[in-house]
Amino acid sequence: MALSSTSSRTAMSIVVALVLVLGTSTCHAARRLADDTEPAAAPAAIPAIPAVPKPTVPAVPTVPQIPAVPAVTGVPPMPAVPTVPAVTMPKVPAMPTAALPPVVPAVVVPKVTLPPMPSVPAGIPTVTLPPMPSMSIPGVPTIPFLAPPPKA
């Protein structure tokens, strides 16, 4: 039941797509309209737009001259900056010497030996893989590998 409904849906969608693509074409109708219709009459003349009268603009008044700023007289001179008296600073007392605590002896780490790695048996065949196909994705730049490919 499920298989038959899936195939009927696919067939129905194909039929609908074909009807939409082939049924909405306007080529024949446009061609017939172009062949059968008479050319339209020339449109009536558009009346001319009347000219806009230019407004009269009043003259710009003249700007009065700015009077000069008079020089200021009678200002007392700037007083001199007073000097700062020299100050003698007391000497910094010497730091007392303190006895350091004894140094902790270094921790001795025992030496550990690992067992040897087992060797690969000689009966296992080596398999060569086919080269990987190059894939290009549009819009993604290809970046070369920084490291060489691993050796088999």
Chain segment 52-66, per-residue pLDDT in tens:
888 888 888 888 888
Q: Give pLDDT, residue 1.
A: 47
Model pTM score: 0.18
| CA separation for the pair 72, 142 (Å, rounded) | 77
Asked if residue 37 has pLDDT above 70, the reply is: no
Q: Which of 99, 151, 92, 91 is nearest to 126 (CA)?
A: 151
In this structure, of 26-30, 41-45, 61-65, 95-99, the range with the lowest mean pLDDT score is 26-30
**Please, what is the average pLDDT of the chain?**
79
Asked if residue 27 has pLDDT above 70, the reply is: no
- The ranges assigned to domains in the chain are 1-34
Per residue, the 3-state secondary structure of the chain, as one string, reads CHHHHHHHHHHHHHHHHHHHHHHCCCHHHHHHHHHHCCCCCCCCCCCCCCCCCCCCCCCCCCCCCCCCCCCCCCCCCCCCCCCCCCCCCCCCCCCCCCCCCCCCCCCCCCCCCCCCCCCCCCCCCCCCCCCCCCCCCCCCCCCCCCCCCCCC
Chain segment 101-149, per-residue pLDDT in tens:
888 888 888 898 988 888 877 777 788 888 877 777 777 777 666 667 7
| CA separation for the pair 3, 9 (Å, rounded) | 10
Across 11-31, average pLDDT: 78
Lookup: tokens for 82: 């007073």
Q: Give pLDDT, residue 5.
A: 66
